C-alpha cells in the first residue's frame, strides 16, 4: 500500500473530549470505515484507550504496526441541568437540594499528531475515523493538514461541526528570526 494512495497527515492538533460510551456506540454501530481498514480494534489499558486499524490487505505482516488513535480516559461528574428558576444560595433560606449527578468516563483525544495518531501504515484512514469521532463530540476541536492524491487539505471540526479551514503558507519562525536578528556576514564593512 503506497503512501500516495492512502494520503498523509502532516499536522494534527486535537482537544476532543467525549463520553467513552459515545465512542463505543459509534464503533459498535458498524460505521462505514475508509478503504484499507476492515475493523477497528478497541483496547483499554488502565486509563488509556487505543483504537487500532485492522488492515484489509492480507499482505501486511502481523509485526507491522498499523495506525492507532490514543485517548486518555478520565472520570468526570456530570450534573443534570438546573431549572431556570433556581438561583444561587441566599442567606437564611433552607439548604438547596442537591443537583442529581453521575460519574461518566470520558475519552480525551488531546495533543498533536504523535500523541493522538500513531504509526504510519493506514495513518490517513485512521485520521478519517478520528474525524468521524470528532463529529460525535460536543466539546473540543480537531484541526489538521493532510494530503490526498497530491492535494493539501485543511480540516477543522469544532464541537462536532465541520467548519471552514484554510492553509496559509508562512515563513518559518526560525528563518524569520535569523533574517531579522542575525549578522549579515557577506555585506559586513568590518570584515575584509
Give the tens place of pLDDT for each residue, 30-87: 999 999 999 999 999 999 999 999 999 888 888 889 999 999 999 988 888 754 445 5
pLDDT band at 6 (very low <50, low <70, confident <90, very high): low
The whole-number pLDDT of residue 63 equals 87
* pLDDT: which is higher, 22 or 101: 22
> What's the chain look like in SS3?
CCHHHHCEEEEEEEEEEEEHHHHHHHHHCCCCCCCCEEEEEEEEECCEEEEEEEECCCCCCCCCCECEEEEEEEEEEEECCCCCCCCCCCCCCCCCCCCCEEEEEEEEEEEEHHHHEECCECHHHHHHHHHHHHCCCCECEEEEEEEECCEEEEEEEECCEECCCCCCCCCCHHHHHHHHHCCCCCCCCCCC
Is residue 133 assigned to a domain? Answer: yes
pLDDT band at 179 (very low <50, low <70, confident <90, very high): low
The whole-number pLDDT of residue 62 equals 81
Q: Could you read off the pLDDT of 148-164 as tens digits, one per residue?
A: 998 999 999 999 999 99
Q: Could you read off the pLDDT of 83-139 as tens digits, one per residue?
A: 444 555 556 556 667 788 889 999 999 999 899 999 999 999 999 999 999 999 999
Structural domains counted in the chain? 1
pLDDT band at 2 (very low <50, low <70, confident <90, very high): very low
Q: Which domain holds residue 7?
A: 3-80+99-181
The whole-number pLDDT of residue 183 equals 61
Is residue 191 assigned to a domain? Answer: no
Is residue 189 assigned to a domain? Answer: no
Is residue 91 assigned to a domain? Answer: no
Is residue 92 assigned to a domain? Answer: no
Is residue 15 assigned to a domain? Answer: yes
Is residue 41 assigned to a domain? Answer: yes
Amino acid at each position: 500500500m503506497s503512501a500516495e494512495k492512502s494520503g498523509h497527515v502532516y499536522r494534527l492538533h486535537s482537544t476532543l473530549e467525549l463520553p467513552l460510551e459515545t465512542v463505543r456506540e459509534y464503533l459498535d454501530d458498524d460505521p462505514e470505515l475508509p478503504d484499507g481498514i476492515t475493523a477497528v480494534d478497541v483496547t483499554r489499558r488502565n486509563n488509556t484507550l487505543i483504537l487500532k486499524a485492522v488492515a484489509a490487505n492480507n499482505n501486511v505482516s502481523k509485526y507491522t504496526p498499523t495506525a492507532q488513535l490514543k485517548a486518555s480516559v478520565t472520570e468526570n461528574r456530570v450534573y443534570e441541568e438546573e431549572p431556570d428558576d433556581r438561583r444561587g444560595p441566599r442567606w437564611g433560606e433552607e439548604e438547596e437540594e442537591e443537583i442529581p449527578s453521575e460519574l461518566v468516563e470520558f475519552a480525551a483525544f488531546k495533543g498533536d499528531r504523535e500523541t493522538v495518531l500513531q504509526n504510519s501504515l493506514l495513518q490517513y484512514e485512521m485520521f478519517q475515523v478520528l474525524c468521524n469521532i470528532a463529529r460525535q463530540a460536543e466539546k473540543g476541536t480537531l484541526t489538521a493538514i493532510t494530503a490526498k492524491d497530491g492535494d493539501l487539505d485543511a480540516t477543522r471540526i469544532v464541537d462536532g461541526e465541520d467548519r471552514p479551514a484554510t492553509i496559509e503558507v508562512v515563513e518559518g519562525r526560525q528563518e524569520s528570526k535569523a533574517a531579522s536578528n542575525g549578522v549579515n556576514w557577506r555585506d559586513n564593512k568590518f570584515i575584509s
